[in-house]
Amino acid sequence: MFEAGVKEVKELQKTNPELAVLIKIITLESIEPSLEDLRVPSAVGAFLQKNAASLWPYKLVSWVLENLLSNNKLSGPSFNLQTSTPVTHLQKSENGWIVHTPRGMIASTRVLLTTNAYTSHLLPEFSDLIVPVRAEMSSLIPPKSMRPASTNRPLDHTYVFLGHGKQNINQVDYLVQRPFIPSSSTDVSGGEMMFGGGRSYASNAGLGVSDDSSIDPPAAEYLRRELNVVLDLQNKDRELKATYEWSGIMGYSRDGRPWVGELSENLGLGGGEGLWICAGFTGHGMPNTHLSAKAAAQMMVGKPAEEVDLPSMYRLSKERVERARTYDEVHIADAKGMR
């Protein structure tokens, strides 16, 4: 798996050297930094990527919504947010679409589905193209050995772990440590290890599960235990305690790419003129959703498709639908460890 990654980076060095310069390959022989410096001494190798970001997604989305609401003006179009209002049915009308909800119906000439894993609830034809997958997440209390005053400092990096234990390349573990906050003159709080993954330990690897009201206990146990194994925490392999444990639903795309664009009738996906989609992010939502949504919005307001900055493999076409259906179904590809 590491050798395959090295090959991809070297190819990137040829095709896009400006991007490739942000990635450093760390091998067993590397120094400054070494694998030990990165606190992954048992790893086969690592890729160190500059300018990676970490953020709190819920806070970001809340801030965006609050700004949209506060900027509403009495004159002109306004932003209207309806919470706890699930869409139960889409109906094609003469002038567009009628959106059915338990609280009534809304008519619109254009509708955008940002439904990700839940797309097939409204468009059953998508059931083999975007599949729900439940993932596990935890907030772990850092060991005393990692407090700011200790010799084993807090983490300097965010982490993605590939190929650890029984995990294949599709079953990724990831880690971000929150900052410590002074709580008194002599103590600090915070520093939680936000650790997610362990999907190979979940029932059926979480595939086909769209209910996030519960967790997968074996995956949760793995997260509490395994961080000591994959990372040098100097914690004598003690199981970490969790302040919170929860699950979330991802939408896995059959060809591994998001689906962005208008669902024209010729696609055979149950759509029609005026119905748009931006979904199927396969567990990589934060790096992809923002510009995918921007592209969808630009096309919806009439910007020519060829002028919209959107990768060709994200765009909708009948050829793409047909090609995707020649690939292994999501559960088969996931088990094989293929992208």
pLDDT in tens, 129-187: 999 999 999 999 998 888 777 777 888 899 999 888 778 888 889 999 998 888 776 67
pTM of the model: 0.90
- The pLDDT value recorded for residue 237 is 77
User: What band does 318 get if pLDDT is binned at 50, 70 and 90?
Assistant: very high
Q: Report CA torsion sign: 40, 43, 48, 51.
A: negative
Domain boundaries, the chain: 1-51, 86-129+254-336, 133-251
Beta strand spans in the chain (E): 23-26, 46-49, 89-93, 96-101, 104-108, 111-113, 130-140, 159-161, 173-177, 180-182, 188-190, 193-196, 242-253, 259-262, 275-279
Are residues 245 and 218 in contact, defined by beta-carbon separation less than 8 angstroms?
no
* Section 205-229 average pLDDT: 94
**Residue 307: pLDDT over 70:** yes
Q: Which CATH class is domain 86-129+254-336?
A: alpha beta
**Residue 215: pLDDT over 90:** yes
Q: Report CA torsion sign: 37, 40, 44, 50.
A: negative
Q: How far apart are CA 9 and CA 220, in angstroms?
A: 33
Residue 212: closest CA among 127, 149, 158, 135: 135
- Residues 244-297: pLDDT tens digits? 999 999 999 999 999 999 999 999 999 999 999 999 999 878 889 999 999 999
Contacts of 335 (CB under 8 A, 6+ apart): 168, 205
Contacts of 61 (CB under 8 A, 6+ apart): none
- Residues 25-84: pLDDT tens digits? 999 999 999 999 999 999 999 999 988 777 888 899 999 999 999 988 877 778 889 999
- The pLDDT value recorded for residue 64 is 92
- The pLDDT value recorded for residue 337 is 76
Residue 102: closest CA among 81, 83, 121: 83
Phi first, then psi, for residue 221 (nearest 5°) are -65, -40
**Residue 339: pLDDT over 60:** no
- The pLDDT value recorded for residue 65 is 93
235/323: higher pLDDT: 323
Q: How far apart are CA 21 and CA 16, in angstroms?
A: 9
**Residue 301: pLDDT over 90:** yes
